[in-house]
Amino acid sequence: MRSALQALTVRGRAFLASGLTSILCGLVLIERDLTRMGLLVAALPLVSAMYVAGRSHHLRLHRTVTPPHLNVGESAKVLVTVENGGAPTSVLLMEEQLPYALGGRPRFVIQPMGRGARERLEYTVRPEIRGRHSLGPMQVRLREPFGMVELREEIAGAAHLLVTPRVVPLSEIRLGGGWFATGDDHPRSFTVGRVADVVVREYRRGDDLRRVHWRSTARMGELMVRNEEQLWQARATVILDNRAVAHRGTGPGSSLEGAVSAAASVAVHLSSLGYQVRLVSGSGITDAWHERGRPLDPFPLLEELAVVTSTDDRELPDITLGEDVTGGIVVGVLGAVQPEDSSWWARFPRHSAQSLALALDVESWGQRAHEGDLPPSTMWLAGQGWRATSWRKGDALAAAWRELDR
């Protein structure tokens, strides 16, 4: 009842004030008719408040988002099932609470619902900003016929939508190196399973008996031998410079968003070619093959890139150039290169089979933050052994990627 009284509209407050004034004047002037009229006028908003308080809903919501994750610019459908678990309701005005990145807030008018009744609502969102967005809660407005009271309540519960960066299809270019053996001679290179989990097959006449795998033979009931064929697997490392000092602009039009989109496009492209991709950024290291158990699934990388933000660190992350980098392909997505970053970038060509650099001309994404900013150091990177190209705002990412093949 208290919340209903606090939800009196301007009309309801005017009626209540007019009624109390009439009652007071009637008592002072000893006018019974004026007092009766004041009682009637003041009682109307109070009765309306009691009506709304007694019609308090017991609604439950269930949201289904299809698909649960998508790229920037794609559309998703949200199905909201409303179930009434209490007394019959009057006409309900409902408004879904959405972040501005998903567009306008959808509104619905629901006709009176009986106990146990269900209503299905549907709306579409088309996000233009990556990230993990929350859908809900739902706000309900209760009004009585005279417009004296308007009560706003929220139905708890929300769903989440993961929006991954925009992925641009890239063409195949010459990529050398990056392959390593995972056969019997290199047991430490197995990416899935243990050393004992070797590849076996049935015994064939002429096979060396020293290659018989007795454990598999006992389990299968027939003679099994280790496969003499070696498995090969390619690996690549994508480095994203997400430091705030290396980028310009704000919002979706910033150079950081362009760098994130470029890193996502490269990761998906290399995964489609069979590379095991590792993402390195100021936020940490993400492996596409360890977390989900699917060696060529780039979704863990896209999930990390969906929520990556700029860091205030002025130094690049401290990573060890171990077996994950040595002999593989390194693709760097760079912002403005600072003089103190030179030694950090210079060590990769000496350890990797091939080093590719996509250097963003960050000044084309925004105004200069301070004096002394450096343009994309493509010539310096090329002198250190990188195959480097510059990418300006408005240029096609696919064209810049093809430039790395020259």
DSSP of 279-319, one letter per residue? EEETTEEEETTTSSS-TT--HHHHHHHHH---B--SS----
Q: Please count the residues of the chain.
A: 406
Task: Locate 190 and state its tokens.
Answer: 């197995």
Helical axes 32-54 vs 10-29, angle rounded to 10°? 150
Task: Please give the C-alpha separations between residue 254 and each of 158, 224, 236, 258, 363, in angstroms, as whole numbers.
Answer: 30, 59, 26, 7, 10
Residue 72 φ then ψ, to 5°: -60, 135
Instruction: Decide: helix, strand or coil at residue 379.
Output: helix
Distance of alpha carbon 235 from alpha carbon 31, whole angstroms: 94
Tell me how crowded residue 53 is: count the other CB atoms within 10 A of its CB.
17
Q: Are 105 and 98 in contact (CB under 8 A)?
A: yes
Return d(Cα 71, Cα 84) in angstroms, integer.
35
The type of residue at 172 is: E
Q: In terms of CATH architecture, what is 59-164? A: Sandwich (2.60)
> Tokens 């996509």 identify what position?
358
pLDDT in tens, the chain (406 residues): 666 677 888 998 999 999 999 999 999 998 999 999 999 999 998 888 887 776 667 889 999 999 999 999 899 999 999 999 887 887 888 999 999 888 889 999 998 888 889 999 999 999 989 999 999 899 998 877 788 888 888 888 889 999 999 999 999 888 865 444 444 333 333 333 333 345 677 887 767 777 888 888 888 888 888 765 444 467 889 999 999 999 988 888 899 999 999 999 999 999 888 888 889 998 788 776 544 444 467 888 999 999 999 999 888 887 767 656 666 899 999 988 888 888 889 889 888 888 999 999 988 887 544 444 445 578 888 888 899 999 999 999 999 999 998 7
The pLDDT value given to residue 291: 41
Which tokens belong to 13? Answer: 């407050």
| Residue 141, number of CB atoms within 10 A of its CB | 15
| Neighbouring C-beta atoms of residue 66, cutoff 10 Å | 9
Q: Where are the domains of the chain?
A: 2-54, 59-164, 196-226, 232-403
341: number of Cβ within 10 Å: 21
Q: Residue 131 has which token pair?
A: 């990230």
Distance CA 126, CA 76 (A): 7
Instruction: Report the first-to-last Cα separation within the chain, whole angstroms.
Output: 75
Tokens matching residue 395: 């240029």
Burial classification of residue 379, based on how many CB atoms lie within 10 Å of its CB (0-12 exposed, 13-18 middle, 19 or more buried): exposed
| Mutual angle of helices 299-307 and 255-272, in 10-degree steps | 170
Output phi, psi for 178, to 5 deg: 90, 5
**Distances, alpha carbon 354 to alpha carbons 106, 235, 237, 357, 360, in Å:** 50, 11, 11, 10, 20
Q: Which of 77, 379, 13 is nearest to 389 (CA)?
A: 379
Class of domain 232-403 (CATH, top level): alpha beta
> How many degrees, rounded to 5, is the angle at CA 246 between CA 240 and CA 249?
105
| 152 C-beta neighbours (distance < 10 Å), count | 12
Which tokens is 238 given? 């994508």
Q: Residue 255: which of 103, 404, 368, 377 has the closest Cα?
A: 368
